[in-house]
Amino acid sequence: MRRLSGRFRSSLIIGIQGIRARKLRTLLSMVSLFLGVLAVVVVQAGASIAERALLADLEIQQGYDGTRVMDMPMQQNATEVLTATVRGREDAVAMLGVSGIVGEPGVLPVNPGGAPLDQDWGPAMVCNDQGCEPAPGVKGQAVEVRLTALSGDVRKFRPYRTVSGQWLDFTRMPSMSPKLVLNQPAADAFEQYRVPAEMRVGGAAANVTPQFVGVVDDGDMQPRAYVRLDELTTWLPPSRMSDPNTGGEMRLLMTQGSPVEPVVSAKLKALGVEPYVQTIETRKEQEKQLTLMRLVFFSMAGLVLLIGVAGILNVGLATVGERVEEFALRRAVGTPRTLLAGIVLAETLLTGLLTAAAAIGASAAALKVVTMLVGDSQPILRDVQFPWEAGVAGIIAGIVAGVLGGFVPALRAAGIPIATVMRA
């Protein structure tokens, strides 16, 4: 143990002496290696950033991996069954989507059907038993949102990011005037149209004045407003939510193995409703796609790294050739051959690590500059941190290059005969 640490220290001391004595050489090795390590760091950084961004969006839009999602058509009895079953449960949250028009009374919304503001989904329709026809009236200062009623805190399943204000508070008593949390498109729409805040919901007993308490990022393009189900039901009973002109999706998010699932399924089947259930596996699926992409990019980066290794190898061999006398002398004073090899390896390893440090520093700095310059227009680049995986990849690349580039020179150095070199 002591001998090993003595050798380790010796090779480190001598290696550093060697590097300091040949600064230009070291610099040239680093230059030849820099691009290779940089390529590895950049590929890993890109992969990590892309993966994180994609996964974060997917988790917001679809849910964490393992979440059970049950979709069903909105139907009068089904709504009641669902809301009654999940009431007060921690392991399941029901999401009921209805249409809500917020704004000037009596006008058509600027975005019929709750379309994103920059899209046209066709005119507003009214339907009855005879069929559907365009709704009468003119467009005014009103925005149609998907009003999504939540039976509990859905953020257990989907990590909506709070942009401003607060998220819905499910712990306090339901309020008489509903508190709404908007998503970003809805917030933008209200910003743009400065609508008077009155909300019409088909089937509701009366129009109400909602309170906007916050804005979240839910990854959706459609304007949406979130509301507590128990607050909505005080003026829109579940039985009236299934109005064909307003009603929409009904969804149940559950933990895996939640007892709610079989109960709701059974009850719905009894009503003749066939629910569709799936498990969220976004991360898994994403990983499959990313693995292939990463493989392609890493092979290219590896190739560039290999060229750098050839550079280190070249410089290393030339250096050993020049240092024949030094190595013979070191052997003469009792330096074991393994330590000589260790010295050469230590030098290339240190060179590799220095290069890695330079490449990591350069890409971290570049990322900082890029996020500062275009971060505002590219949400994917907004406050991204330099991923630690990229740093690790760079260090590994530096070590691998150092070992590969130093191995042959190290063997050469260990094989130098003393007698021939030192003969006077």
Partner 1 sequence: MTALIELDGITKVLKGQEQPRTILDGVGLTVNAGQSVAIVGRSGSGKSTLLSVIGLFDRPDSGSYRLDGQEIAKLPERRAAKLRSSHFGFVFQRFFLLKHLTAAQNVAMALVNGQGWLPRRQRRSLVMEALDQVGIAHLAKSRPAKMSGGEQQRVAIARALVRDPKILLADEPTGALDIETGTLVIDALLAATERGCGLILVTHDRDHAARMGQIHDLVDGVLTERVTVR
Interface residues toward partner 1, by CB under 8 A: 2-3, 5-7, 9-11, 13-14, 17-18, 20-22, 325-326, 329-337, 339, 417-419, 422-424
- Residue 340 CB, shortest distance to Mg ion, in Å, is 24
Is position 420 an interface residue for ligand ADP (rule: CB under 6 A)?
yes
Residues 40-59 that bind Mg ion (CB under 5 A): none
Q: Which does 20 bind (CB under 5 to 8 A by kind): ligand ADP, partner 1, Mg ion, none?
A: partner 1
- 217's enclosing H/E stretch is strand 211-217
**Would you give the binding string for Mg ion spanning residues 365-404, x where CB under 5 A is met?**
----------------------------------------
Closest CA to 282 of 68, 65, 54: 65
Q: CB count, 10 Å around CB of 89?
A: 16
DSSP annotation string for 164-202 = EE----SSSPPPSSPEEEEEHHHHHHHHHH-----EEET
d(CA 339, CA 414): 8
Is position 423 an interface residue for ligand ADP (rule: CB under 6 A)?
yes
- 355's enclosing H/E stretch is helix 337-374
Query: 1 or 292: whose CB is closer to partner 1?
Result: 1
Tell me if 141 sits within 8 A of 104, measured CB to CB: yes
Tell me if 74 sits within 8 A of 249, measured CB to CB: yes
Is beta strand 161-165 parallel, antiparallel or unpaired with respect to 199-201? Answer: unpaired
Q: CB count, 10 Å around CB of 27?
A: 12
Q: Which does 3 bind (CB under 5 to 8 A by kind): Mg ion, ligand ADP, partner 1, none?
A: partner 1
Query: 21 or 300: whose CB is closer to partner 1?
Result: 21
Q: Which does 240 bind (CB under 5 to 8 A by kind): partner 1, Mg ion, ligand ADP, none?
A: none
Is position 416 an interface residue for ligand ADP (rule: CB under 6 A)?
no
Is position 23 an interface residue for ligand ADP (rule: CB under 6 A)?
no
Give the total of residues touching ligand ADP (CB under 6 A).
2
- Residues forming contacts to Mg ion in the complex (CB under 5 A) are 424
